[in-house]
Structure 1
Amino acid sequence: MTLTATVATLTPAPRASTTFHHCRAALGDRVLRLQDEPLAILKGLYRLGALVVTTFADGGRVSQSMRYPTLEDGDDGLEARGQQSRLRHQLNLPLWRSVMAVLAPVADLPPRSLLFFDRFGEPVQQMAVAPETGGLAFEELVCAMLHPDQRQLGAPPPRLLAGPTAVPSVAELERQWSHGDDDGFRALLAGIGDRRQVLYQAVRDKFACPVRAETVPSLLALASRRDAAYTVCTGNSGVSLCLTAPWSAPRWQKGQCHLAHQGTLVSLDMGRVASVWRLRRPGPGRVVTALEGLDAQGRWLWTLSGGDDEDTWLSLLADSLIPDGAPGRRMA
């Protein structure tokens, strides 16, 4: 897909997360700076035993209890399968930059944990050694990867904001949408970048249409009652997660929707959701249908889709989907 060139402008000031600033303030005391070699450190995580891995996303966060597998050069994904579940991590390692080791509690950061940040100081993932795990593997890894400078940690660079990009014609968008395979569809979304809502509003209703936010709690509750598996996808610039499981009944708490399955907890920040869309596109042998949440700027937050049984998923949607404009209650 051909788009016009973007015009980049600097933000007024560098932007880094509160987590980054907490680590920076405790540097040399409760926090140690590790070498900027995230892949080498990820390769050593398998020695730490049980981990609690937290992935930070714009639409919430995902916490998993897991044993990190051995990574090899060229690995860009992790996959775990259970009898009823499938977890897929897709790593975008070039965007991982700095790493810090938390030795003692800092703010809400647990001790004996590693924090991975992108180049703008935004947290990508947190790896905490499970309390029941003993041994000196954490300390050995930290000592082996210690950065020589433990006194200073430079501020992240300013973030670049892309200027407006031209969207192809509706006919071209529909052609790419309807004839592309999985890779082609991902390329279409990547070409649009953070302007997915522009794409969805441009194509016809048979491809994308808005639905009421009440659809989400209705769908999740119904899936739990029927013990039906479905897929939740979320993530950030450095890692994307797709987790398929028969999730627990949704637990709502101050705008957060919590879904659990065995050692995995997905917390979706529904307060960030400004619009929900039903998407339909060609898949292997049939049409694939999904729900997607976007924020107020039209940026992707999460996707809900079927598991291995698309018919069960379509039945759930048919019984819970509320088209935009239909009467209904506002979601708390």
Structure 2
Amino acid sequence: MTEPTSKTAEDIRRLRALNPQMRERDFARIHSISEGQLVAAEVGHTATRLKVDMSMLLHGLTGVGEVMALTRNESAVHEKIGVYEGVSVNAHASIVLGEQIDLRIFPSRWVHGYAIEKAMEDGTTKRSLQFFDRAGNAVHKVHARPATDVAAWTKLVSELRHDEQVDTLDVTAYVKAAPEAAPAPLSELRAGWEAMTDTHQFFGLIKKLNYPRLDALETVGEDLAWQLDHAAVEGMFRKVAGTDLPIMVFAGNEGCIQIHSGPIHKVSPMGPWLNVMDETFHLHLRIDHVVAAWAVRKPTKDGHVTSVELYDENRELIIQFFGKRHEGHGERDEWRAVVEQLPLFSTPNAA
């Protein structure tokens, strides 16, 4: 269903001028528009509409030097500073496999693109590339940094420039598909789960057996998935922060998954946010959005691997944490111990 906004581009620009410091996502929600519509309204002013050509974009980004890659959902913002490298483009799934910037991209969700260029009060220019799905939700953003090659950046924007520079954006909501059939029996879920040889087989398994992800965790049995106490989230960060234990942090949306691999150091809670502010990795996690935390054990050919997964009120995955490991090697004992020592969920007994 197409949902054009009742606000004109001029209306949006006028409202934005009254609230210039508000975060884009918050502004869009308050004014009942999508973030994509907010950005589109600036075409001809601070924004340029782009073609979404994945090959041209990703290969072009390898030439611009250091940038900040940002991928988020409603509850987690994942930021990595580095260069785009190790690019592989495919119609169904593309990859950026760099030392710092590590992305799994699903191109069908990348529908609208814009380059934004804003003059700041201190005389600098703030530049970004922003991409949205058909509903106007942000799937990925690239922010220029002081070390970015501005000439290469400008050349890429020119090559991606769309022939039609319009300042409106009609959005089409995604409708969640109903289950095609009843979930398979527990015995089939357990058998398929225990037969896995790679964690990437998990999504195909639960799809084949008609299990939403969280339903599968709740059903399979506590030897393979067990619910954690809410305190486990901050507890996990306390246990790994400042150590040399490398972890993997997966966060994103239907169009892009962004991955951090390595130790974390500076963890700073602030209000409802739990923040990681390291040199090349920033994470902003809304702890108050976490409704369920789970530890999950999946078999691989190198032994089982253990993850911590956080879910929101819609039973959607917010973020995943793994211990970093190399293909052909088992999971680190230190990471497994961290997860297995986290506090378990318990229901208070009735008085």
Aligned partner of 1:124: which letter? V
2:82 equivalent in structure 1: 66
Superposed displacement of residue 301, structure 1: 1.0
- TM-score w.r.t. structure 1 length? 0.83
Superposed displacement of residue 225, structure 1: 4.8
Separation of aligned partners in 2, 1:301 and 1:259: 16
Preserved contact between residue 248 and residue 259 of structure 1 (Cα < 8 Å): yes
Q: 1:115 to 1:192 in 2, by over 3 A?
A: farther
Correspondences of 1:312-327 after superposition (within 5 Å): 312-319=334-341, 321-325=342-346
Separation of aligned partners in 2, 1:25 and 1:104: 14
Superposed displacement of residue 222, structure 1: 1.4
Correspondences of 1:11-22 after superposition (within 5 Å): 18-22=34-38
- The superposition leaves residues 177-214 of structure 1 with CA deviations (integer Å, 9 ceiling, x where unpaired) of 11122232231245578932211122111111211010
**Which of 98, 117, 126 is the matching residue for 1:111?**
126
Q: 1:192 to 1:279 in 2, by over 3 A?
A: same
Preserved contact between residue 65 and residue 147 of structure 2 (Cα < 8 Å): no
- The superposition leaves residues 124-181 of structure 1 with CA deviations (integer Å, 9 ceiling, x where unpaired) of 1111221343542222222222212213433122322322442111111111111122
The farther-off stretch of 44-53 and 171-180 is 44-53
Separation of aligned partners in 1, 2:207 and 2:324: 24
Q: 1:178 to 1:11 in 2, by over 3 A?
A: farther
Preserved contact between residue 49 and residue 115 of structure 2 (Cα < 8 Å): yes
Correspondences of 1:114-129 after superposition (within 5 Å): 114-129=129-144
2:205 equivalent in structure 1: 188
Aligned partner of 1:316: which letter? V
1:198 lines up with 2:218 in the alignment: no
2:292 equivalent in structure 1: 275
Preserved contact between residue 120 and residue 157 of structure 1 (Cα < 8 Å): yes
**Which of 149, 166, 169 is the matching residue for 2:185?**
169
Correspondences of 1:44-63 after superposition (within 5 Å): 44-63=60-79
Preserved contact between residue 266 and residue 278 of structure 2 (Cα < 8 Å): no
Q: Name the count of aligned residue pairs.
A: 310
- SS class of match (1:138): helix
Separation of aligned partners in 1, 2:211 and 2:79: 25
Preserved contact between residue 248 and residue 321 of structure 2 (Cα < 8 Å): yes
Q: Which runs of 5+ in 2 are unaligned?
A: 6-28, 326-330
Correspondences of 1:92-171 after superposition (within 5 Å): 92-104=106-118, 111-165=126-180, 166-171=182-187
- SS class of match (2:63): helix
Separation of aligned partners in 1, 2:153 and 2:164: 20
2:280 equivalent in structure 1: 263
Q: 1:272 to 1:286 in 2, by over 3 A?
A: same
**Which of 34, 39, 47 is the matching residue for 2:50?**
34
Using CA pairs under 8 Å that are at least 6 residues apart, name the structure with larger relative contact order, 1 or 2: 1
Superposed displacement of residue 12, structure 1: 8.2
Q: 1:159 to 1:135 in 2, by over 3 A?
A: closer
Q: 1:300 to 1:13 in 2, by over 3 A?
A: farther
The farther-off stretch of 122-131 and 252-261 is 252-261
Separation of aligned partners in 1, 2:155 and 2:191: 54
RMSD over equivalenced CA pairs, Å: 2.8
**Which of 97, 106, 117 is the matching residue for 1:79?**
97
1:310 equivalent in structure 2: 332
- SS class of match (1:174): helix
- TM-score w.r.t. structure 2 length? 0.79
Preserved contact between residue 229 and residue 343 of structure 2 (Cα < 8 Å): yes
Superposed displacement of residue 51, structure 1: 1.1
- The superposition leaves residues 227-259 of structure 1 with CA deviations (integer Å, 9 ceiling, x where unpaired) of 322221111111112322110142111221112
Q: Which runs of 5+ in 1 are unaligned?
A: 1-9, 328-332
Separation of aligned partners in 1, 2:289 and 2:311: 8
Superposed displacement of residue 271, structure 1: 2.0
